[in-house]
Amino acid sequence: MTRQPLAISVMPGKVVIKLQKMNMLL
């Protein structure tokens, strides 16, 4: 998450969705 602070601040929705998908896979 520290790699793309701009992406998180610009599109937090996509980051949340990505994290949710990763959690589902795990």
Per-residue confidence (pLDDT) for residue 10, from 0 to 100: 62
CA distances from 3 to 7, 8, 17 (A): 9, 10, 17
Confidence (pTM): 0.40
What's the pLDDT at 3?
Answer: 66
- The pLDDT of residue 8 is 52
CA 14 to CA 20: how far, in whole Å? 10
Show the domain range for 17. 1-26
pLDDT per position as a tens digit, 1-26: 556 655 555 667 787 888 888 888 77
- CA dihedral of 8, 20, 18, 24, whole degrees rounded to 10: 160
Q: Which pLDDT score, from 0 to 100, does residue 19 have?
A: 86
Q: How far apart are CA 26 and CA 5, in angstroms?
A: 24
Confidence (pLDDT) at 2: 59
Domains identified in the chain, total number: 1
| Alpha carbon distance 20, 3 (integer Å) | 18
